[in-house]
Structure 1
């Protein structure tokens, strides 16, 4: 491996570890030379490759600005190739009767965590967690089926609140004094299984949007959520593009 490739990979790892957050500056070239024990030419070649792939932007008079970090899967490889710097917004559109949207059938129980839930919530496999199940309707039409998984030690006696709230985060802020710190959401396509079909009033095999959310709060991992969305009555609009101004230091 050439020296600049090694430096490139080490900086990528630093981005993944959030050593250099989005919007921050990389260390100046002389400091990078000392950190990695290489020449200025090597540092510049590594930075040039990072800039070419859209991770950083070199601005004269400011330095090297971090535009994005490493994504956890290869799902955004196409975006990297085409230099989409940010997903600017994701919103629901074409929701029938949005003013009539309600949650019904809300139920809280406890289940043993599987490997995925355990990894997200940072607990041993088989640990009991709360599961909140809700079906969202527009009028009489079921649109979405949502499962939230939360740690019992963070939210004691949560199961006492079945059918007593709709919006989860405001409820947790009010009753458990949490501080929401953000989330990541992963959207894919799946085919409805028998349970999905019965809940959402569709046929098995119908395409659904599957959204997995990983959220954090001041306590640590806030929740792991899985949302199934009907595509025949609802769609998502994802706005992408270079968001250089929001990351600018001007």
Structure 2
């Protein structure tokens, strides 16, 4: 039987302390020298454990400021109301930025034409963004929109953080409802590189159709780092 590496033992013990609130959310972990002394390990081993904790979303390491415990449930979205990914993050106190943004005009394929009730080959606006929370990439958003609803998006896309707020404030669109289909997948190479994950890491994929005045105007695929986000569903009553 393989012996468990010391850095992994430290990792598991720190996780246990975080989950049992010995190290509460927003607190700083003990400094490296203190952990070295407690566990009788090298500085390199401590750092390896801390890096793994950061990779798995338990902590954030800030040079010169220490290692802070994250709220791993902070990025939680309830599905009983319509909210964008970035709005959810902001409500939880996260600083949301866009790592990169790409805009183009594309032709609707058969699937998206069917979803948006338009003819195949019709023009759509395609917006791809990497969404960052507190400086860390957490999701890739790919939006397909019907141009007549957002005619000036080509000029604005680089400044958009919350798409829904942009649609409401700039174009007066009332977002009435949405249909979400959520699945899980393993990160492919390009997704892993974009999100700073290992290839094969777990991802959540939220495919949403958004409606205004009873009309579907947007189809979005949101690919999310599964270790740092969750969806909650509120239900009531029984189906008879």
Q: Same fold (TM over 0.5)?
A: yes
User: Which structure 1 residue ranges, 5 or more long, are not aligned?
Assistant: 1-86, 245-250
**1-structure distance, mates of 2:161, 2:117:** 26
1:117 aligns with 112
Partners of 1:90 and 1:236 within 8 A in 2: no
1:101 aligns with 96
CA RMSD across the alignment:
2.9
Rg larger in structure: 1
Task: Specify the SS of the correspondent of 1:205.
Answer: coil
2:31 aligns with none
The answer on 1:170 being equivalent to 2:157 is no
Q: 1:207 to 1:165 in 2, by over 3 A?
A: same
Task: Specify the SS of the correspondent of 1:124.
Answer: coil
Partners of 2:97 and 2:131 within 8 A in 1: yes
Partners of 1:208 and 1:230 within 8 A in 2: yes
1:189 to partner: Cα distance: 0.8
**2-structure distance, mates of 1:232, 1:177:** 35
**2-structure distance, mates of 1:237, 1:118:** 30
1:21 aligns with none
2:125 aligns with 130
**2-structure distance, mates of 1:90, 1:240:** 15
Partners of 1:178 and 1:219 within 8 A in 2: no
1:90 to partner: Cα distance: 9.4
Partners of 2:97 and 2:135 within 8 A in 1: no
**2-structure distance, mates of 1:217, 1:90:** 12
1:40 aligns with none
* TM-score using structure 1 length: 0.55
Q: Following superposition of structure 1 onto structure 2, how do residues 61-100 of structure 1 map, counting pairs within 5 Å? A: 88=80, 98-100=93-95
* TM-score using structure 2 length: 0.57
The answer on 1:223 being equivalent to 2:214 is no
Q: 1:89 to 1:118 in 2, by over 3 A?
A: closer
1:219 to partner: Cα distance: 7.5
**2-structure distance, mates of 1:243, 1:179:** 31
Higher relative contact order (CA 8 A, sep 6+): 1
Match of 1:238 among 222, 225, 233: 233
Task: Specify the SS of the correspondent of 1:163.
Answer: helix
User: Which structure 2 residue ranges, 5 or more long, are not aligned?
Assistant: 1-78
1:98 to partner: Cα distance: 4.2
**2-structure distance, mates of 1:100, 1:176:** 25
